[in-house]
Structure 1
Amino acid sequence: MWGEADLQVADSRAYPMIGVQTASNRRTYDAPLEAAVRRFQRRHLLQEDGVVGEQTRLALNTSVASRIDQLRVNLERARWISPMQSAEPRVWVDIAGYRMHYVRPNGQHWDARVVVGTPRRETPIIHSTISHLTINPSWTIPPTIMREDVLPQVRADINYLARKNIQVISPMGEPLVAEEIDWQHPGGVMLRQVAGTGNPLGRVVVRFPNDDMIYLHDTARGLFQRDQRALSSGCIRVEGVAELAQMLLQDTGSRYQMSSLLKGEVIAM
């Protein structure tokens, strides 16, 4: 078991330049200091711009005791994950590192960048089994997003629903007339956005049973270039999700091809 002294030694080894960097003028933000800031940002998954903004300043001011607590928490998380890694194949998401990993039945490893939930709407830790794929999905808007994001828009302008191709349905899936709903007190109505270019799930969704309505899916491709990618409402957006889906089909013995499915073509099985 690691003690505090061990963690402090590990921290000093991880940051070998701490305590030895000097500057001829401590009031000058020169090139060596900017390079040190960029290294710090890269190590902490911050935007590597060399600017000491709010997030960088918060990270710099984090105490050694807090870093030790973070290490303890992550060591415990690693202990939880260890039994899951004994069975293959497996898909797992490193939420803090913004990466998804897939170990295939043949032992091949595949990984991709992901976008995960914001601190306000965190991606939960889930252990489940992938059950199926959905091509060109509709999106049933989760309760939190409906309450906090969509309803204020609908109350301000009922035409918001039509512009976003959102259908109003009952809990049984029956269509309802939007103009007949009291949007101040909508009750148990549900909102479903039809498939299309504006659908936030994109064209491919990898689904697995869970109570949080969390999936692996497409879209938001411009966000994958960012260093910090805690930007979603909880779901996990996967760069190259169609490639992942094709591997899952292949590895489970399916003859379907993603290229044909995305074009709406059906093959004889």
Structure 2
Amino acid sequence: MSQNAQIGAHQDGRWEGLVGAIRDVDPDLLLLQEVEWLAGPEQAKAAREELGMNLVVAPSRQMNPAVAWKPRALEWLDTDTRYSATDMHHGYCSLQLRPLGLAKEWPVPLVAISTHLTPYSVEAAGQEAQLLIARAYRFGGIGLVGGDINHMPLGDEEPDWSLIPPYNRSSRCHRRKSSTDPWRGNRLVGEVFRDGDMTDVAAHLADSRPDPSLRALTGKGGQLRVDQFHVTPALVPAIVDYRRVNTNADHYGIVATFDLDRVALPAAGEYV
């Protein structure tokens, strides 16, 4: 599950409701964004108890991302936040995890990355996506990037841009030659993930079933499916399901199901 908590959830009383929604889903892996207050050790400890999950919060310039996991399902091996606070606007939290109870042990870990790409420039967000793709492959090739991607994915229909604030149009659309030209979403970030051989989970299922409703918006005010999961080729055969969850934040939660016994294990040294 991935959830942008919306800044201030700990101050306006929404966090308790979000915890309830997350516990209803009961994910083995949880990617969080805009949880800056959890960077405090006491707050992080309380969140672990509330969620019933282990938790790592990444360093960040602002609005820290985090990853939580169920220890009965996943064993923590290492944390990678090397570039989080220096090379990205909001940062990323990347864990290396060993799934438990598999029919066959993996030679490399699952890399799970929670991120929040910059909303202010599609070009800058594309560079951040390039960094994350490298981190997703870095430890053997079984990787997932999820969170608030903030920009238009490939294949989704154009929204009604007149309903979207001008500051979002200026950062999420192609430049126009004149003020009378129509707005068109800039899909650069989606192209970067595609060119990194990453698969958009919701789009993959929407096309293969087919079920266009899986492309529904996730940003309640921005009219876009900004919350996304992208996976390396190894995880594509393991994709089982995807859905939205309506929570008391300005983003829907998104939930993906994987059968990890169906992972296509990369060849030894393939991504070294």
- TM, length-normalised to structure 1: 0.28
Richer in strand (by share): 2
Larger of the two Rg values belongs to structure: 1
- TM, length-normalised to structure 2: 0.28
